[in-house]
Structure 1
Amino acid sequence: MTADKKTQCLEDMRMRILTQEIAPGSDLDEATLCERYAMSRTPMREILQRLGGEGYVDLTQNRGAKVASMDLPVLRTFFQTAPMIYANVARLAAENRRSDEIDGLKDIQDSFRRATQSGDAAKAALQNHRFHLAMGEMAHNPYLLPSLKRMLIDHTRLSQTFYRPASADESLRVVKACDHHDAMIVAIERQEPGLMVDLTIEHWNLSRDRLERFVSPDPLPIDVLPMKDRENAV
């Protein structure tokens, strides 16, 4: 088993989880995965252990592996925690960035904008993931970065909704999100931590209600009868 093959498998599984090709809470059958990726159980278990350590997978003794869930307690913690982590990462990125890190962030932003303009929700969510992860690396804080990485897993899975706009207003929000990224890059270049925090909170608020729709989706359409008519319905 080559290191490259294991790396490709690891990366592919990350992407499949982030795009929800493998749904939250899904069982991960070792035999099926081994067949798909043409590898034996030992390297596959190593990959699952790695994914478990990163927060993509939950490993339970004698019960195998599952994709990390997105149940209500998890999402409640996510919505409580995300603004705090993003704001602190943003401030530190502006304070601690190195000049040689800016071009990489700009390249990611170019890919992000192209993905949103093409309407590719999965790619847009992944490029947004890369953008905020790059900012986390620019913060150069070994305590915040692991928390950011774990949070981005759930944010990326949730944000599939945001990047599938269903109205003109929602489309404008996606455009605004792109503009926020551009403004963040400028603020980081100029090392303006206060502005970065303001932009980050505005950026979070722009998508928060759309992310919450993952938890509370629109009701299914039904033919509602007036209550007095319903009383006599069989």
Structure 2
Amino acid sequence: MTRIAPTALYQEVAERLRQRIFAHELPPGTWIDEQKLAEQYGISRTPLREALKVLASEGLVELKPRRGCYVTEISPQDLDDIFPLMAMLEGRCAAEAVDKATSHDIAVLKSIHEQLESAARDGRIGAFFEANQEFHKKIQELAGNRWMLSVIQDLRKVLKLSRLHSLSLEGRLQQSLDEHRVIMAAFEGRESAKAEKLMHDHLLSGREALAKMEDSNAKAA
């Protein structure tokens, strides 16, 4: 009978590997050396393989028959496929969030937006990125649609595989801030349809910024 791996153990291993992948300690295309990792973590290969199955279901690694496991490489075509889906889903989230948000919820969202403003003024890209993540997360929570949230979270995990960061593009931080300002105004004005379109366009704007970075890198190569 096959031994059942302790749930908490393989989940912990999956989270450790997930963070290493996001930090690009395990870059896209990297072969996962199962024996070496098992020795590093002081575990058997059974919970490690269960952890890799979890990451494969999230699209972060690929399990290739007779070749092993590799960190997923995300291509420009992948980004072209993913961003329109993200735009559609996050746009819908914004509309539902406007309809469901209380005055207190709007105030909390406003406080997160003020963190964006502060980070932008000081040119703190890392802080802006964190506040940006929190802003989107809060809107998704306010929408209260767990199915949509699950799909968005999975897609955002895959996007973290990209080596490119649109906020590093000259002028993109200010452009992103301007986009957040009008989204915030739509929430304060309780304009759900407007919030949906603005959020949709905001996501596609992010893809356009990444495309510019891809072109720039290709010319520099």
TM-score by length of 2: 0.71
Which letter maps to 1:118? R
Which letter maps to 2:80? R
1:54–1:150: 8 Å Cα contact kept in structure 2?
yes
What SS class does the counterpart of residue 59 from structure 1 fall into?
A: strand
Give the C-alpha shift of residue 87 in structure 1.
Answer: 1.6
Classify 1:154/1:110 alpha carbon distance in 2 versus 1 (closer, same or farther; 3 Å). Answer: farther
Higher relative contact order (CA 8 A, sep 6+): 2
Which residue, 19, 22, 25 being the options, matches 1:18?
Answer: 22
2:61–2:71: 8 Å Cα contact kept in structure 1?
yes
Taking the aligned partners of 2:11 and 2:66, their CA distance within structure 1 comes to 26
What SS class does the counterpart of residue 143 from structure 1 fall into?
A: helix
Taking the aligned partners of 1:13 and 1:110, their CA distance within structure 2 comes to 33
Give the C-alpha shift of residue 203 in structure 1.
Answer: 2.0
Give the C-alpha shift of residue 140 in structure 1.
Answer: 2.2
1:59–1:65: 8 Å Cα contact kept in structure 2?
yes
Aligned residue for 2:202? 203
2:165–2:210: 8 Å Cα contact kept in structure 1?
yes
Q: Deviations over 1:70-120 (max 9, x none)?
A: 135423322443322222222222223466766775676566667763343
Which residue, 28, 34, 45 being the options, matches 2:32?
Answer: 28
Classify 1:128/1:3 alpha carbon distance in 2 versus 1 (closer, same or farther; 3 Å). Answer: farther
1:109–1:127: 8 Å Cα contact kept in structure 2?
yes
The alignment yields a C-alpha RMSD, in angstroms, of 3.7
Give the C-alpha shift of residue 211 in structure 1.
Answer: 1.2
Q: Deviations over 1:103-156 (max 9, x none)?
A: 775676566667763343xx7556544543443333222432232122212433
Alignment of 1:147-158 (within 5 A): 147-158=151-162
In the alignment of these two chains, the number of paired residues is 214
Question: Which is greater in Rg?
Answer: 1
Classify 1:57/1:108 alpha carbon distance in 2 versus 1 (closer, same or farther; 3 Å). Answer: farther
**Percent identical across equivalent pairs?**
26
Taking the aligned partners of 2:176 and 2:105, their CA distance within structure 1 comes to 21
Taking the aligned partners of 2:65 and 2:158, their CA distance within structure 1 comes to 24
Alignment of 1:157-176 (within 5 A): 157-158=161-162, 160-165=164-169, 170-171=170-171, 173-176=172-175
Taking the aligned partners of 1:8 and 1:195, their CA distance within structure 2 comes to 41
1:30–1:44: 8 Å Cα contact kept in structure 2?
yes
Classify 1:44/1:112 alpha carbon distance in 2 versus 1 (closer, same or farther; 3 Å). Answer: farther
Taking the aligned partners of 1:26 and 1:64, their CA distance within structure 2 comes to 11
1:58–1:67: 8 Å Cα contact kept in structure 2?
yes
Which residue, 62, 71, 87 being the options, matches 2:75?
Answer: 71
Give the C-alpha shift of residue 219 in structure 1.
Answer: 1.2
Which letter maps to 1:93? A
Structure 2 stretches lacking a partner, 5+ long: none
Aligned residue for 1:219? 219
Higher helix share: 2
